[in-house]
Amino acid sequence: MKITTHDFFNKESKSDIKLNEFIKKCFEQTDSVIKYFKEFRENKLDEYVFALQNRLKSELKESQYKIDIFKLDEIEKNLSLLHNYPEMEETIINFIWKILDIPKDFDTLNEKFNLLYFNIRKAERHLSYYRVKAIEDLLGKEECIKVYKNIVEYLIKEMKEQESREQPEDPMKVTRIESRKFVLENYKKLGVGDFTLGIYDDYKEIYRFDRCIVHEVLKDFNDPDIAYLSSCYLRDSPSNNEGYIIHMRKTQTLHHNKFCDEFYWNNSVYPDAEQPSLEFTENMGKDK
């Protein structure tokens, strides 16, 4: 096994984003959760939107930004329900604007903004956190967890329906080489985290994350259950691997433990591969 350690976490790393596209993505993700919440608790739909709006407003603290510069017709074109709540839309825009730390008096949309990547992830993860937290406000934590896990199954199905992946002729030849290269290059560029990588071969590898931007932007909420549900559970749900050649599995995350064990493998080469032990993963690379 080849083992390498990478201390890439950097809160000062920057990334380009197109603000209209970012807002559109956040609207669509919120719309999907609202849409599927309605499947399980239709009688509480308006209460849920109100609870979410109150959660977002609690972080805004009266801050108001210019929203008339956004092309709402373009942003709203794929929405099912969110466009019926214009005050909610305005609150989301103000919420994102504040976290991205864009000047209040900014009055035009550039093609791209060069912003702190930490703030970009913070904006989308805090919005996701509050989407789940608002369910807890209505139903309590135990019922919230049940309902949101059901919502996630709908989200996974929707995500897969929107994908357009070509299936390779020979699944046995699908490797992790290009994905691994992409991870190393982009995690360094964006300051995503500190991690140790253990490479078994071209088809199987394990990451131990000792620090991760997703955990960093959520840890101050001091609610690891909701933080995990809102950020990591979608990837961890077993149904997320269905239909894919490369599978991923974690047995713990930084939300509840001191490291995350993220294991990838080609399931055609290694059917239902065994997860490396937590003891092995914890000690990986520490004997150097």
Is residue 29 very low, low, confident or very high in pLDDT (cuts 50, 70, 90)?
very high
Coil/strand/helix, residue 199: strand
Whole-angstrom Cα distance, residue 265 to residue 202?
9
Is residue 80 very low, low, confident or very high in pLDDT (cuts 50, 70, 90)?
very high
Write the pLDDT tens digit of every residue in 32-68: 999 999 999 999 999 999 999 999 999 887 667 667 7
**pLDDT of amino acid 63:** 63
The neighbouring-strand residues paired with 266 are: 246
Write the pLDDT tens digit of every residue in 161-176: 988 777 888 999 999 9
**pTM confidence score:** 0.95
169 compared with 132, residue with greater pLDDT: 132
Dihedral class, residue 75 (left if φ above 0, else alpha if ψ from -120 to 50, else beta): alpha
**pLDDT of amino acid 44:** 97
pLDDT > 70? residue 110: no
The predicted model gives 229-249 an average pLDDT of 96
- Look over the chain and give the mean of its residue pLDDT values, rounded to a whole number: 94
DSSP assigned state of 104: T
Residue 144: phi, psi to the nearest 5?
-60, -45
**pLDDT of amino acid 111:** 67
Is residue 79 very low, low, confident or very high in pLDDT (cuts 50, 70, 90)?
very high
Cβ–Cβ under 8 Å, residues 133 and 141? no
The predicted model gives 77-85 an average pLDDT of 96
Whole-angstrom Cα distance, residue 206 to residue 198?
5
**pLDDT of amino acid 227:** 98
Instruction: Identify which of 262, 282, 266, 246 has the alpha carbon closest to the alpha carbon of residue 206.
Output: 262
Domain ranges of the chain: 2-12+169-283, 14-162
**pLDDT of amino acid 59:** 86
What is the DSSP track for 224-288? HHHHHHHHTHHHHSGGGGTT-SEEEEES--TTTSS-EEEEEEETTTSTTPPPPPHHHHHHTTTT-
**pLDDT of amino acid 203:** 98
The percentage of residues in the chain with a pLDDT greater than 70, rounded to a whole number, is 95
The predicted model gives 115-123 an average pLDDT of 97
Coil/strand/helix, residue 163: coil
Write the pLDDT tens digit of every residue in 174-212: 999 999 999 999 999 999 999 999 999 999 999 999 999
Whole-angstrom Cα distance, residue 36 to residue 159?
13
